């Protein structure tokens, strides 16, 4: 008989206690935090699915590599190992370290974009959009239509709509499109992968117009594994071979090593363009640091150099993708509406379908997140109206395209019994969903409002 159980491909060497709280304590914490789970101290969270970013458990090899970290201000051998590890997978000529992904985005958009420019992406992540808009450019999302239907099955829902890309470039003119981006996997669109066929098609369109293609590479390894599982012709290739093929289509990338770098901090920016690289390094020195450390310690560079390779290991990726699907499939089997098929790093519950009695203007995703915390101390995050919607000058809320609740799975952190507990809590809340009330916004910051917003139960 074949053994079907997927086990965590590691054993645990160091443990970190997690703390239970009572429902009464959680109610008080929730009120004090204005129903915003970003504002709850982490020690009051039992299972933290707020983000898969920087929450990775590092391996013995990564910890060992950190001891080799060389903290020289300039020319550290840790940078050489970092650069070589990245170039061996991604192949770009210039590798510029940054303290995390958004620093790479800020530098990229500052150098490449100006007011009035247009940057297409399958879906901009929130920091990508904010950094793009901050320099006066317009961030345009061009997901395929299937991506907007949460229940719809499609193997590559992260794909960009190539006909809309062509139309957009024709409409605004290629001179106003300094770059096109592809986010792999598409985080805001449900953690869905982009196929190599789509990457190549987007590249061909860009090449015809002389526009560079950049990959937002945060989850490149998970994307490569989905290609192997789902795209005809790739079953026999290793994730590393597939990743290399993805990057061969691109002219550069931004990366948050807090995801598939399996590190707790760090990022980088890559390009093949010598002139752009020089301008990026000049800006880097101004705000991040010398180009051989870019805001990171030598030990962080070492952890990333090792982590990028571990993220491409077959056993790891198999466990990663299947264990995320385990959560999604178990709740979907009981009727909980999720973005189908399950994504790579997270399960997204369709909060509008879960709570149809709560209008988008009353933040169903945030209300559901609060309820999962109240029920079982689980922290998740809304990806919807609070994150992407806008309130106009008359106080009217313009909703986001979808109201999703993201349960992001930190890499190598939780075991199957933790996930079984999460399933139970979600199903308990699902059974009493009709009693859940909407929320009203009482404070918002001028941008990236979801981090600090405060809310209260709607009257
Ligand atoms: C797709 C995507 N791009 C960019 C970023 C920004 O990276 P960082 O949080 O390291 O600044 C993230 C982070 O979550 C992301 O998911």
Mean pLDDT, the chain cut into blocks of 10 residues (459 residues total): 85 95 98 97 98 97 98 98 98 98 98 98 94 97 94 96 98 98 90 97 98 98 98 98 98 98 98 98 97 98 98 96 96 97 95 97 97 98 92 88 94 96 98 97 90 95
**Closest protein CA for atom 5 of ligand 1:** 101
Distance 100 CA to ligand 1 centre (A): 8
266 within 8 A of 338, measured Cβ to Cβ:
no
β 454-457/439-443 pair status: antiparallel
Atom nearest to 266 CA in ligand 1: 10
CA angle 272, 275, 279 (to 5 degrees): 110
Distance 375 CA to ligand 1 centre (A): 29
Query: Which among 385, 339, 384 is positioned nearest to 150, based on CA atoms?
Result: 339
258 within 8 A of 223, measured Cβ to Cβ:
no
Number of H helices and number of E strands within the chain?
Answer: 16, 16
Distance 113 CA to ligand 1 centre (A): 19
Distance 335 CA to ligand 1 centre (A): 31
- Give the predicted TM-score (pTM) of the model: 0.94
H-run or E-run covering 449 = none
CA distance 259 to 222: 10
- Rounded to the nearest 10°, the torsion over CA 284, 285, 288, 294 is 80
Query: Which among 247, 183, 180 is positioned nearest to 211, based on CA atoms?
Result: 180
What length does the chain have?
Answer: 459
Residues within a 6 A CB radius of ligand 1: 53, 100-102, 125, 127-128, 183, 187, 216, 218, 256, 258, 267
Give the mutation target among 97, 101, 106, 141 for probing the ligand 1 site: most ligand atoms within 8 A of CB: 101
CA distance 193 to 228: 11
**Closest protein CA for atom 6 of ligand 1:** 101
H-run or E-run covering 133 = helix 126-134
46 within 8 A of 389, measured Cβ to Cβ:
no
pLDDT of residue 41: 97
Distance 127 CA to ligand 1 centre (A): 7
Give the mutation target among 100, 104, 121, 125 for probing the ligand 1 site: most ligand atoms within 8 A of CB: 125
pLDDT of residue 393: 86
Query: Which among 127, 40, 25, 147 is positioned nearest to 369, based on CA atoms?
Result: 40
**Closest protein CA for atom 8 of ligand 1:** 101
Alpha helical stretches, state H, 135-235: 162-172, 196-209, 220-230
Atom nearest to 127 CA in ligand 1: 6
pLDDT of residue 40: 97
Give the mutation target among 185, 218, 294, 307 for probing the ligand 1 site: most ligand atoms within 8 A of CB: 218
390 within 8 A of 448, measured Cβ to Cβ:
no
CA angle 430, 438, 50 (to 5 degrees): 65
261 within 8 A of 308, measured Cβ to Cβ:
yes
β 252-256/213-216 pair status: parallel
**Closest protein CA for atom 7 of ligand 1:** 101
């Amino acid at each position: 008989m074949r053994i079907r159980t997927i086990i965590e491909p590691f054993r645990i060497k160091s443990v970190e206690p997690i703390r239970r709280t009572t429902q009464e304590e959680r109610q008080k914490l929730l009120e004090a935090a204005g129903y915003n789970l970003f504002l709850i101290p982490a020690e009051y969270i039992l299972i933290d699915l707020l983000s898969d970013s920087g929450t990775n458990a590092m391996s013995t090899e990564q910890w060992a590599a950190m001891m080799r970290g060389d903290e020289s201000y300039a020319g550290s051998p840790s940078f050489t190992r970092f650069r070589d590890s990245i170039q061996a997978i991604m192949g770009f000529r210039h590798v510029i370290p940054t303290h995390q992904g958004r620093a790479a985005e800020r530098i990229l958009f500052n150098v490449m974009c100006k007011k009035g420019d247009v940057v297409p992406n399958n879906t901009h992540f929130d920091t990508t959009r904010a950094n793009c808009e901050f320099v006066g450019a317009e961030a345009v999302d061009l997901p395929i239509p299937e991506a907007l239907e949460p229940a719809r099955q499609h193997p590559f829902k992260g794909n960009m709509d190539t006909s809309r890309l062509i139309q957009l470039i024709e409409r605004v003119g290629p001179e106003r499109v300094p770059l096109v981006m592809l986010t792999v996997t598409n985080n805001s669109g449900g953690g869905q992968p982009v196929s190599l066929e789509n990457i190549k098609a987007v590249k061909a369109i860009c090449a015809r117009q002389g526009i560079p293609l950049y990959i937002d590479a945060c989850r490149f390894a998970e994307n490569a594994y989905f290609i192997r599982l789902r795209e005809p012709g790739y079953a026999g290739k290793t994730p590393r071979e597939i990743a290399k093929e993805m990057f061969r289509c691109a002219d550069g990338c931004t990366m948050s090593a807090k995801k598939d770098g399996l590190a707790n901090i760090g990022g980088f920016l890559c390009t093949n363009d010598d002139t752009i690289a020089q301008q990026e390094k000049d800006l880097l020195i101004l705000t991040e640091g010398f180009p051989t450390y870019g805001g990171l310690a030598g030990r962080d560079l070492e952890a990333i150099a090792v982590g990028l390779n571990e993220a491409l290991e077959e056993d790891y990726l198999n466990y990663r993708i299947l264990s995320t699907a385990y959560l999604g499939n178990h709740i979907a089997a009981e009727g909980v509406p999720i973005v189908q098929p399950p994504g790579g790093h997270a399960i997204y519950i369709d909060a509008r379908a879960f709570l149809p009695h709560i209008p988008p203007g009353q933040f169903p995703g945030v209300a559901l997140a609060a309820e999962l915390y109240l029920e079982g101390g689980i922290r998740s995050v809304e990806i919807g109206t609070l994150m992407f919607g806008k309130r106009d000058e008359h106080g009217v809320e313009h909703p986001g395209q979808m109201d999703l609740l993201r349960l992001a799975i930190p890499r190598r952190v939780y075991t199957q019994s933790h996930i079984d507990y999460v399933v139970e809590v979600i199903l308990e809340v699902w059974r009493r969903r009709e009693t859940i009330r909407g929320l009203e916004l009482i404070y918002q910051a001028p941008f990236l409002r979801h981090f600090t917003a405060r809310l209260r139960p709607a009257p």
